[in-house]
Structure 1
Amino acid sequence: MASRALSVSGLLSLKRTTRDTAFAVLTTRPPSGSVGDGANLIWGRQLRPSLLHLDRSPSLSFPLPPLAPAKRDHLLLLRPIRATAEGSDSAGEAKVGFVEKYPALVTGFFFFMWYFLNVIFNILNKKIYNYFPYPYFVSVIHLFVGVVYCLVSWTVGLPKRAPIDSNLLKLLIPVALCHALGHVTSNVSFAAVAVSFTHTIKALEPFFNASASQFILGQPIPLTLWLSLAPVVLGVAMASLTELSFNWTGFISAMISNISFTYRSIYSKKAMVDMDSTNVYAYISIIALIVCIPPAIIIEGPQLMQHGFSDAIAKVGLTKFISDLFWVGMFYHLYNQLATNTLERVAPLTHAVGNVLKRVFVIGFSILVFGNKISTQTGIGTSIAIAGVALYSYIKAKIEEEKRQLKGA
């Protein structure tokens, strides 16, 4: 009897031990990096604590649920499988969002916002110059508002600030200097002449880019590209000869802006860094702001202190004056940021067409809003220049695409 009792006791002990071990295996988390990592979160989210910790340790003394061991084993074996399946479905749905489902619609929205913000910036910028003709100070405000925006974004971690060292700083300083000069001279031109005329002159930027590539960087430019630039030069010349708002300050400033942005492109190619475009633009804006402050103080500071601020406040009021400066700075920064985000989503050809259409939108809306009178020759010249820019951009994008295909092959 003793041996029989001992054997029965041993069998019960063995059965309990086997059951405990089975539950321990079922409720133990698999090692990190295993295939079931995705299900670990499902376990914690879907299973009840009483079931999750059930029989994890033989030392636990709370009563077991009133279920037969076979049914309970079946319950625990089924629940993780169903939860994992549900989790995989929800994870699959989360991966396919609106952006992935409708990429063309999202890209179209980016283009719309880019054009909209650019047009609003140009219109508001010109309206400010009509009662506050101080382009150096306004240029500083553009950059200052953008820098504050970047600092706030870095503070909240959207995006995270990329670290910078002395080597990266040396690469970005020339880019920022050209950006600052091009930005200030553009604003000087906007303040001096009609917005449409400034953008017509700035249509010559591809000509300066091609000249710099050929004669400075030593990169041969195909004859077809040079021929496509002929209508651009001809159209700008025709528009300039009969432009009613023409003056040399506006014309020369816009030309300097073209040259500055051309060199900015050259230095940007040399300053290819492992940093996202948002952080690069933020650092460039900070350096450009530091560069623009001294000329604004020296050139316009005395006039601003004597009568510049007081005249503007007397014309539109303090609240509108401050809000105009703030919003023009926000629109300037946001349209540049949206331009970068938009152009990163499209092919070079779409990029080229988008840039041309942007200039057409700005010229057209500025004429409508400000009612600028243009002569027939100016209108024809502007149209020829824009058509030339479109042809140049199309040919250049095709050439770059062919080069990429050859490299890929």
Structure 2
Amino acid sequence: MESRVLSGTTNISTSLIHLKRPTTRETTVSFLPKPIRNVSDGGNLIWGRQLSPNLLLNEKSPLFVKREISLPPVFATAEGSDSGGEVGFAEKYPALVTGFFFFMWYFLNVIFNILNKKIYNYFPYPYFVSVVHLGVGVVYCLASWTVGLPKRAPIDSNILKLLIPVAVCHALGHVTSNISFSAVAVSFTHTIKALEPFFNAGASQFILGQPIPFTLWLSLAPVVLGVSMASLTELSFNWTGFISAMISNISFTYRSLYSKKAMTDMDSTNLYAYISIIALIVCIPPALIVEGPQLMKFGFSDAIAKVGLNKFLLDLFWVGMFYHLYNQLATNTLERVAPLTHAVGNVLKRVFVIGFSILIFGNKISLQTGIGTSIAIAGVAAYSYIKAQLEEEKRKAKPA
């Protein structure tokens, strides 16, 4: 939903929404006038999570207005329609729609990982490929804004300051992930990245000062054990791939921490677009410095000689499109579901990617690597389930 920025002073003229009075049951609804930051001195405020509900829900507040109206039993029809209006497909079959979102998220993610690895087989330049991923996504976002799908949300210097740390961590995590993908098997990189919950728990405990329950720490033990087992016997193991994946875990952990400080009411599509633009600007200089001379000397010419110019350009374009679409669709999908479904979805995604990468590339894995990977994934599933349950308990306890 697009953010609405409203301004006001101490002399506020409230406007109420008048709805057609149906003849069904009576329901009491409180309508609120347009909010402002300070009642005393005026100011600007973004409608949404930043707005304190105490100011508006307190009956003693001068901003509180109560009005009784009649609403139909189902208040889900389009504006201006009668209570007997038809229900849309998404409202009638929400499970099917959500299932389709999950399918497309997994499908795009698997295609991205496969195409990405195939590019590295003949063009091993992860810094440049990372720039391409973000660059194609940014062009897509700019084109979408141009046609108004979605309408671009406004941004100011305050929001920009909040988003820059998020985007820097996103850029670093993305580049190091690609370095790992180019150095080792896709399945091994995703196995190492299964440790991300461990880093998140550590950051919450020791940086944010939020105590982590013992049961949550205990669920992470099989994750660490499984990754260790898989790493010891992974046939494609090398230190570049391993360390890069670990740095990616740390980067994405800090991205999560900064994201909590950068809570705005901007919709997820616009938010991800701005983060992608900033991350692209961050990624370009390292790519030019680290890989620029090699690319100009023989990198591009070697790739074109191996696969041809048309295939090379098409591969770069489509890998960028799949990267942006799967990330955007993942954000939109996870907004539709409860925390527990979110957790299960993330675990299943990693299982899909690991399984399909082994099938497509025919990577040989030892028995110990397979067992270790399974233990690690099971640990992530247990951690995600326990964490989701704890978050649900906190959410239910808040109103009380």
Q: Shorter chain as normaliser: what TM range?
A: 0.7 to 0.9
Aligned residue number for residue 353 of structure 1: 344
Residues in 2 aligned to 1:88 and 1:337: alpha-carbon distance in whole angstroms: 28
Q: Which amino acid aligns with 1:167?
A: N
Deviation at 1:262, TM superposition (A): 0.1
Which of 323, 332, 339 matches 2:323? 332
Could you say which residue in structure 1 is the equivalent of 2:286?
295
Residue aligned with 1:130, SS: helix
Q: Residue 149 of structure 2 corresponds to which residue in structure 1?
A: 158
1:2-401 superposed matches below 5 A = 35=20, 96-401=87-392
Question: RMSD across aligned C-alpha pairs, in angstroms?
Answer: 1.7
Query: CA separation of 1:34/1:396 partners in 2, compared to 1, >3 Å: closer, same or farther?
Result: closer
In terms of fraction of residues, the more helix-rich structure is 1
Instruction: Evaluate the alpha carbon distance shift between residue 218 and residue 90 of structure 1 in structure 2; reply closer, same or farther with a 3 A threshold.
Output: closer
| Cα distance in 1 between the residues matched to 2:319 and 2:19 | 53
For 2:249 and 2:372, how far apart are their aligned partners in 1? 19
- CA deviation after TM superposition for structure 1 residue 274, in Å: 1.6
Structure 1 271/321 Cα, relative in aligned 2: closer, same or farther at 3 Å?
same
* Structure-2-length-normalised TM-score: 0.80
Secondary structure of the structure 1 residue equivalent to 2:337: coil
How far apart, CA to CA, are the structure 2 residues paired with 1:208 and 1:90?
Answer: 50
Structure 1, residues 247-302: CA drift from partner, whole Å, max 9, x if none?
Answer: 00000000000000000000000000121111110000000000000000000000
Write 1 or 2 for the structure with the bigger share of strand: 2
In the alignment, the residues of structure 1 paired with residue 213 and residue 311 of structure 2 have an alpha-carbon distance, to the nearest angstrom, of: 51
Q: What is the CA distance between 1:408 and its match in structure 2?
A: 2.3
Query: Against the structure 1 CA distance between its residues 400 and 134, is the aligned structure 2 distance closer, same or farther, given a 3 Å change threshold?
Result: same
Distance 2:166 2:389 in 1: 27
In structure 2, list runs of 5 or more residues that go unmatched: 1-16, 22-77
Using the TM superposition, give the Cα deviation of residue 96 of structure 1 relative to its aligned residue in structure 2, in angstroms.
1.1
Classify 1:34/1:330 alpha carbon distance in 2 versus 1 (closer, same or farther; 3 Å). Answer: closer
- For 1:221, the aligned partner's letter is I
Cα separation, 2, equivalents of 1:34 and 1:235: 59
Query: Hey, what's the Cα distance between the residues in 2 that align with 1:94 and 1:155?
Result: 33
Cα distance in 1, alignment partners of residues 203 and 79 from structure 2: 55
* Distance in 1 (alpha carbons) for counterparts of 2:84 and 2:224: 53
Deviation of 1:164 after TM superposition, in Å, equals 0.6
* Alignment correspondent of 1:51: none
Greater Rg by CA: 1
Moved over 2 A (4+): 32-36, 87-95
Contiguous gaps of at least 5 residues in structure 1: 1-31, 37-86
The amino acid of 1:157's aligned partner reads G
Q: How far apart, CA to CA, are the structure 1 residues paired with 2:223 and 2:265?
A: 36
Question: Residue by residue, what CA displacement relative to the aligned partner does 1:53-96 show, whole Å, maximum 9, x if unpaired?
Answer: xxxxxxxxxxxxxxxxxxxxxxxxxxxxxxxxxx9997667651
Q: CA deviation at 1:160?
A: 0.7
Q: Name the SS of the counterpart of 1:217 in structure 2.
A: coil
Rounded to whole Å, the distance in 1 between the matches of 2:81 and 2:194 is: 50
Cross-structure match for 1:24: none
1:93–1:115 Cα change, 3 Å: farther
CA-to-partner distance for each residue in 1:113-139, whole Å, 9 max, x for gaps? 000000000000000000000000000
Provide the secondary structure at the position in 2 that maps to 1:142: helix
Alpha-carbon distance in structure 2 between the residues aligned to 1:283 and 1:186: 21
